[in-house]
Amino acid sequence: MKKTTIILFIITTGLCVGGCVERIIKITTEPSGALVWLNDEEIGATPVTVDFTWYGDYEVVIRKEGYQTYKTSRRTPIPFYQWPVIDFFAEALWPGKIVDRHEWQYQLAKETPTDNQKLIERANELRDEATKKDGSQEEGNKK
């Protein structure tokens, strides 16, 4: 009787203490200090660590003054212990904590200065093209 009580106590305690899965994404950039958005939500400046709750695709946008904006998408793959049925044991019955950590590193490119003269020339070309199209359409309407 005493052994049965001890075994039941251990099993009950084990079920109550069950494990959990901690999901983390850490994003670093070179240079650091860039602002990061995941799925249109600002999460902070690099290096930044954020918890996540679901696996799948994430849209990543990174911005820093003097550097080109970096846009990409990343996937967090589903580990085997998160497959249906197995996930119950990993999250509820496993006696410890499982840490699922993803580290994403990005190299930012320096922004190239805009040549104002070339920009003005291109704007004039586009204006001339638009004016020609408007003029030819007006002539066609007069006939």
Q: How far apart are the first and last CA of the chain?
A: 108
Domain boundaries, given as residue ranges, for the chain? 21-87+98-136
Exposed/middle/buried for residue 34 (C-beta within 10 Å: 0-12, 13-18, 19+) = buried
pLDDT of residue 106: 96
Please give the torsion angle defined by the CA atoms of residues 46, 49, 51 and 52, in that order, rounded to the nearest 10 degrees. Answer: 50
Task: Write down the pTM of the prediction.
Answer: 0.61
pLDDT of residue 108: 95
Mean pLDDT, the chain, rounded, equals 81
Of residues 108 and 138, more confidence is placed in 108
- Residue 4 pLDDT > 80, yes or no? no
Asked if the 21-87+98-136 domain carries CATH number 3.40.50.740, the reply is no
pLDDT of residue 87: 66
Asked if 38 contacts 59 with a C-beta cutoff of 8 angstroms, the reply is yes
Q: What is the pLDDT of residues 16-51, one digit of tens each?
A: 555 577 889 999 999 999 999 999 999 999 999 999
